[in-house]
């Protein structure tokens, strides 16, 4: 598990107060919502705000892309990495 995976899993636990869960219990490719981790739309808003604040990722709550990015931890990692690469490319 990469450090960004672990960091995002810990963020999910901290932001959503999932005190009885450890990062090892969150499977990278499992869904975060409904059948997987069981998160809901309020959880998505809280998590989205935390990701925007920490990583500077711009999100549109009504975008299909945003829904796709929140599908799993793997998808969140890809979103953060993509956004970081774009910001670094612009900075050069």
Q: At what angle do helices 73-91 and 41-55 cross, to 10 degrees?
A: 30
| Mean pLDDT taken over the chain | 89
Domain 3-91 in CATH 1.10.10.10 = no
- Confidence band for 35, pLDDT divided at 50, 70 and 90: confident
- Confidence band for 12, pLDDT divided at 50, 70 and 90: very high
CA distances, 31 to each of 10, 45, 71, 73, 75 (Å)? 16, 16, 5, 8, 10
Do 61 and 48 touch, CB atoms closer than 8 A? yes
Please write the tens of the pLDDT for every residue from 44-80: 999 999 999 999 998 887 788 888 899 999 999 999 9
Do 72 and 36 touch, CB atoms closer than 8 A? yes
pLDDT for position 11: 97
């Amino acid at each position: 598990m990469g450090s960004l995976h672990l960091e995002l899993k810990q963020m999910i636990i901290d932001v959503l107060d999932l005190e009885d869960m450890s990062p090892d219990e969150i499977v990278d490719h499992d869904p975060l919502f409904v059948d997987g981790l069981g998160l809901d739309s309020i959880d998505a808003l809280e998590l989205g705000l935390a990701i925007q604040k920490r990583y500077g990722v711009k999100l549109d709550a009504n975008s299909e892309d945003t829904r796709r990015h929140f599908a799993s931890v793997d998808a969140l990692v890809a979103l953060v990495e993509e956004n970081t690469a774009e910001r670094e490319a612009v900075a050069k």
